[in-house]
Amino acid sequence: MNHPIIRIPFARGLAALTVVASLAGCATGPDAEAAIAELSEALRSGLGEEGAKPLSAPASIATLTADPSPPRPRSDDPNLILGVAASPGVAVGYTYRIQHQEITVAEAGSSPNAERRKLEQAIGQARGEIEALRAKVHGQADAGKAAIFAAHLELLEDPELEDTATNLIDKGKSAAFAWKQSYSAQAEILSKLKNELLAARATDLRDVGERVLRILTGATTEAVSYPDNSILLAEDLTPSDTATMQAGKVLGFCTVGGGATSHVSILARSMDIPAIAGAEPRIMDLPNGTPVILDGSKGKLRLNPSPDEMEQVRQKQIRLKAKREVEFAHAEEPAITKDGYRIEVVANIGNQKDAEKGISLGGEGVGLLRSEFVFMERDSAPSEEEQTQIYSNIAKVLGDRPLIIRTLDVGGDKPLPYLPIPHEENPFLGVRGIRIGFDRPDILRTQLRAILRASTQGNVKVMFPMIATLEDWRMAKAMLEEERQNLGLPPIQSGIMVEVPSAAVLAKQFAQEADFFSVGTNDLTQYTLAMDRGHPKLAPYVDSLSPAILSLIGMAAKAANDHGKFCGICGGIGSDPQAVPILIGLGVKELSVSVPTIPSIKAQIRSLSLADCQQLAAKALTLQSGAEVRDLVPLDD
Ligand code: PEP
Ligand code: MG
């Protein structure tokens, strides 16, 4: 069978990989699946806190394997438009349609040399623009958005894009024509892939391509000034559209394209505004200024609501805002239940800025520093000195508050450019997490020395990811101890991520040796349910509140408590208000949550009683599904 072949760039400037879009499974060939997984992961990393709360089914859920064009949910009510829940929340506003103008280009070029130079210069300028955008969002402490623009830089570096264009230039075409052909063809193929994550990346490729094209043709992007209270309607929004949006004017998005995993959804979530993707195409026929209620949690756009309905939503928003203000005002206070039981609320962070923000929101320390962020976004591994500096700076920011540094958690599906990892048949079951540290002890030992040295600056603890066996733990612990003795420093606390089911099942044995546990429910859920945590088709079923996962959490917490150790949670459900009472009832002592949710999780804990939570947890363990557990803890409306 002849397969259309495209080359897509993937993480951090590695050579482009050949992806074969086959009719059967979207990719074949030895590297194809790895390329998809790795590109998907690199791009998905913009998600930041990725909980294991079931997502609404992507629009294409029913036919991912059968038909490349996904079916859309449709409503019979002319005033109701359905789509995919892409970013939670509700907004009331007025529609504003965005249409991207097609940039027209002349086909014939001047001399090939001159056209090639033009193209190179335009690509260089585009790179500068994207770097500036990335720096801007980084400056706004928005690691998620910054990661998206980092991914855009990768797309721009794909040699295949430029090679295809250069071939056309050599045939007498203009740089603009050749470039447009090149990226459009690749984007077209991407958009037809049945892998939803990859298909959604077609928009990113078009965004990058158009940026270069505008430079080549001198086409300007008018800085759009949106009316107040706009709900943007578009075929698709590019990350560039959203990065330059004026905060406050745009209240939400509704796009025909995209899905729960597309960048527009990621960006909407990071902007904390509701969004719907994969909506019915008739949104593009709506006149500007149509009053609407956009419900990003349910994936619904209600047209022409009655003034009463509009008012109800506005009132709800006012109540929510007031609630947030009260929570923020009490953020510094400890999270103590009504019956006097204290839960530590700490932050999941990736860098020093997150740590500062976490403290400003009442965080009582850091329960998870994902140290891979220190290793990503660079071309070589950070030295011992550099790491010591970075960890020390964070420890100093935290003072005597705890800082749990997780050792490097990459491998398999999360590539590092300077750490070539052979192709894995099952990346999540392969050499990842602590297994990388055993495979490359030089890297782990360097990191352990840096962590130990930083421990002199604060309350530093070390945590090992992906511990599956007692041998794993003992080997990691022995390496820590050897490095500690070599450095002549005092011992530090060391613990394990409980994210492989075997670690929870053997929690009693681990609790005799480890100082603490932190349950990584994102991975624990995928391994327990045998469902890939990023699989678009399985997303609606991956729920960390499934009684099976709760039972494992309960085992870990009980074992820790019985041995006088503490058990925390650092997976996404720590930040999920429906999970919080149950986790507390199961005996969890520390919740490590996404930074923005710290004040609300603390406030929620103050409203609970341990006795009630214990009853709730006991009941949850008898239920049959995550959905039944969620029904036990209804969300406030
Ligand atoms: C987890 O698996 O729950 C976790 C916190 O680790 P990560 O999401 O970084 O894999
Ligand atoms: Mg994990």
Mean pLDDT of 380-384: 93
For 149-158, 214-223, 531-540, 622-631, which range has the lowest pLDDT when averaged over its residues? 531-540
- The closest residue, in CA terms, to atom 3 on ligand 1 is 520
Q: What is the pLDDT of residue 388?
A: 98
CA distance 564 to 147: 40
CA distance 275 to 253: 5
Mean pLDDT of the chain: 83
Q: Which atom of ligand 1 is nearest to the CA of 570?
A: 5
Residue with tokens 């059967």: 24
Q: Are 588 and 569 in contact (CB under 8 A)?
A: yes
- Residue 427's contacts (CB-CB under 8 Å, 6 or more residues apart) are 34, 37, 412, 413
Structure token pair of residue 206: 């078009």
The verdict on the CB of residue 526 being under 6 Å from ligand 1 is: no
- The closest residue, in CA terms, to atom 10 on ligand 1 is 523
> 11-61 pLDDT, tens per residue?
322 223 222 222 222 233 333 344 334 333 433 333 335 455 555 443 333
Mean pLDDT of 585-590: 98
Ligand nearest the Cα atom of residue 52: 1
CB-count burial class (<10 Å; 0-12, 13-18, 19+) for 141: middle
Q: Which atom of ligand 1 is nearest to the CA of 520?
A: 3
The verdict on the CB of residue 520 being under 6 Å from ligand 1 is: yes
Mean pLDDT of 305-321: 88
Q: Are 122 and 175 in contact (CB under 8 A)?
A: yes
Mutate to test the pocket of ligand 1, among 499, 518, 543 (most ligand atoms within 8 A of CB): 499
Q: Which atom of ligand 1 is nearest to the CA of 372?
A: 9
Residue with tokens 């402490």: 141
Q: What is the pLDDT of residue 207?
A: 82
Using DSSP bridges, classify how beta strands 5-10 and 14-20 pair: parallel, antiparallel or unpaired: antiparallel
pLDDT at 383 over 50: yes
Q: What is the dihedral of CA 36, 47, 335, 458, to 10 degrees?
A: 80
- Residue 106's contacts (CB-CB under 8 Å, 6 or more residues apart) are 174, 176, 177
- The closest residue, in CA terms, to atom 1 on ligand 1 is 520
The verdict on the CB of residue 407 being under 6 Å from ligand 1 is: no
The separation between CA 64 and the C-alpha centre of its own chain, rounded to angstroms, equals: 22
As annotated, the active-site residues are: 263, 570
pLDDT at 587 over 70: yes
Mutate to test the pocket of ligand 1, among 570, 575, 576, 592 (most ligand atoms within 8 A of CB): 570
